[in-house]
Amino acid sequence: MKKIHLVGLGLLGGSFALAARQKFPELQLSGQDANSQHLQDALDLGIISVSKSIPDADTDLVILATPADTLGDLLVQTLAQIGPETLVFDLGSTKAKLCSLVASHPKRSQYLAAHPIAGTEYSGPKAADAGLLDRKVMILCELEKTDLHLKEKAYRLFDALNLKLRFMDPAEHDRHLAYVSHLSHLTSFMLGKTVLQKMEDEKNIFDMAGSGFSSTVRLAKSSPEMWAPIFLENKDNVLAALDGYIANLSAFREKIAKEEGESLKKEMEEINVIRGILDFGK
Residues in 117-146 at the binding interface with its own copies, rule: CB under 8 A: 117-119, 136-137
Least distance to its own copies, CB of residue 205, Å: 5
Residues 225-244 that bind its own copies (CB under 8 A): 225, 227-229, 231-232, 235, 238-239, 241-244
Cα separation, 17 vs 23, in Å, equals: 10
In the chain, how many H helices and how many E strands?
A: 13, 8
Q: Longest Cα pair distance anywhere in the chain, in angstroms?
A: 68
Q: Are 78 and 62 in contact, with CB atoms under 8 Å apart?
A: yes
Binding mask 244-273 for its own copies (x = CB under 8 A): xxx-xxx-xx--xx-x-xx-xxxxxxxxxx
Least distance to its own copies, CB of residue 35, Å: 15
Q: Which is nearer to its own copies, 144 or 279 (CB)?
A: 279
Site for its own copies in 4-33 (CB under 8 A): none
113 forms beta bridges with 90, 141
Residue with Cβ nearer its own copies (26 or 280): 280
Please identify, using beta-carbon distances, which residue of 58 and 134 lies nearer to its own copies: 134
**How far, in Å, CA of 54 to CA of 77, rounded?**
10
Figure out which of the listed residues 59, 78, 146, 188 binds its own copies, where binding follows CB under 8 A: 188
Among 55, 130, 199, 200, binds its own copies (CB under 8 A): 199
Nearer to its own copies, 14 or 55 (CB): 14
Binding-residue total with its own copies (CB under 8 A): 92
SS3 52: coil
Contact 223, 123 (CB under 8 A): yes
Choose the stretch contacting its own copies; rule: CB under 8 A; options: 26-34, 52-60, 146-154, 178-186.
178-186
Alpha carbon distance 15, 91 (integer Å):
12
Q: By CB under 8 A, is residue 58 in contact with its own copies?
A: no
- Which is it for the CA torsion 115, 169, 142, 233, positive or negative? negative
Nearest by Cα to 162 from 192, 194, 210, 118: 118
Nearer to its own copies among residue 2 and residue 221 (C-beta): 221
37, 43, 176, 200: which one binds its own copies (CB under 8 A):
176
Asked if residues 139 and 115 have their Cβ atoms less than 8 Å apart, the reply is yes
Q: Candidates 20-28, 34-42, 51-59, 115-123 — which segment interacts with its own copies by CB under 8 A? A: 115-123
CB-side neighbour CA atoms (13 Å) of 133: 28
Q: Under a CB-based contact definition with an 8 Å cutoff, are residues 11 and 120 in contact?
A: yes
34 contributes a contact to its own copies by CB under 8 A:
no
Cβ atoms of 267 and 255 within 8 Å: the answer is yes
| Calpha distance 24→30 (Å, rounded) | 14
Residue of 36, 84, 104, 277 that binds its own copies (CB under 8 A): 277
Of the candidate residues 25, 148, 198, 200, the single one contacting its own copies (CB under 8 A):
198
Residue closer to its own copies, measured from CB, 106 or 281: 281
Q: Does 211 bind its own copies (CB under 8 A)?
A: yes
